[in-house]
Amino acid sequence: MIFTINGQIVFDSDTGMLGLIDSLDERVQISNPTKRLLLLLIQHQGEAVKRDIIFKKVWDDFGMISSNNNLNQCVSKLRRLIKNFGLDDEAIVTIPKIGFMLHPQIEIERGADVTLMPHEGDISVESDFEHSPEHVPAEHTLKERTAGLLIRSNISLLILLIAIIALGAAVGIWFATKPLERREVFVGQAGTCKILMSETLLQDDNSTTLKSGVLSYAQRLKPQCTSDEYVLVIKSRTLRTWSRDLSRLYFMRCGTLRDSKSEVCWSITEPAASAG
C-alpha cells in the first residue's frame, strides 16, 4: 500500500521505502519495525495507540524482543526522517503514560499512484538493535520465549501456593484459638438456685443420665441463690482425671456484677468473710 503524507512524502508499507514525491533519488528504506510502527500510526491516525499494542503489533507478533528503548528509538528515527523530508517532527505526538499518536491534522492519502522500488543504492536506516533479532532463528526465539513464560508461570504458581498455605494456616490458627461460644441449658431447680449446664456436656449419648445425676447431686447440696444468681456446671478442660473414662465437673455459683456486664463465679458456698 502506498501512502502520501501531507502531499510531500510517499511511504510504501510493503517495501518500507520512504521519500519525497518529487525527488525519488532521496528515498530511504526503513527497517521492518519502523515500517510497522509508521503503518500502525497511520491506520490509527488521531488515536492514542497504547504502548502494549505497539509492542505486540511491531515486535512480539514477529518473534522480536520488544522494549521501551526500542520503541523510543523507532519514534525518534521516524521524527528525524519526516523532519528531514520537511514535515514537523511533532507530527508524531507523545501521549504521556499511554503511547503515541499520528497528529490528526496530517493529511494522509491512501493508494497514491506512485511506486517506490528499492535498488542497490538506497540508503538503509536499519540499525543493529532492530536487525539482529529478526535474524535469530525462529526456533531459538520461540524456545527462549517459551522458557521465559514457563519460568514466570512457575513463579506465579509458587507464589499462589504459598499464599494459599499461609491463608490456610491463618484460618486454622484462628479457629484453634477462637474461644468456644458458651451456651447453658436449664437442668432443673436445686435449693433456691436454677441449675444450668454447658450445652457441650449434653451432646453425648448418655446426656439424659448425666443431666439426672447432676441435678440429683445439686439437690443434695441445697445451694442458696439470690434472684440474679444460679449454679453453673461445667467440665474441666485443663485438668485430667486418673481415668480416661471419667470427667471432672465443677459446680459454681454465678452472678452478674452490678453496673457491669461482667459475670462472676465462685464455689457453691459463700466466700469466707475477711477477718477484722
Going residue by residue through the chain, which has 276 residues, state the pLDDT in tens, using 9 for 90 and above.
Answer: 899 988 888 999 898 998 888 876 678 999 999 999 999 999 999 999 999 999 999 999 999 999 999 999 999 999 999 888 888 868 899 999 899 999 999 899 987 555 555 444 444 444 434 444 444 444 555 566 677 778 888 898 999 999 999 999 998 888 777 655 667 889 899 999 999 988 777 776 678 888 888 899 999 988 999 888 899 988 876 656 556 667 778 888 998 877 777 788 888 765 544 444
List residues bridging with 99 in a β-sheet. Answer: 50, 95
End residue of a domain, out of 83, 111, 139: 111
163 part of a folded domain: no
207 part of a folded domain: yes
User: The domain containing residue 30 runs over which residues?
Assistant: 2-111
0.75 exceeded by pTM? no
189 part of a folded domain: yes
93 and 6 in a single domain? The answer is: yes
What are 193's three cell numbers? 438456685
230 part of a folded domain: yes
The length of the chain in residues reads 276
If one counts the domains in the chain, the total is: 2
The CA–CA distances, whole Å, from 230 to 75, 89, 180 equal: 86, 91, 21
- Please choose, from the candidates 59, 212, 219, 64, the residue with its C-alpha nearest in 3D space to the C-alpha of residue 134: 64
171 part of a folded domain: no
Burial annotation 4-31 (CB, 10 A radius, 16+ → b, else e): bbbeebbbbbebbbbbeeeeeeebbbbb
195 and 106 in a single domain? The answer is: no
End residue of a domain, out of 111, 138, 158: 111
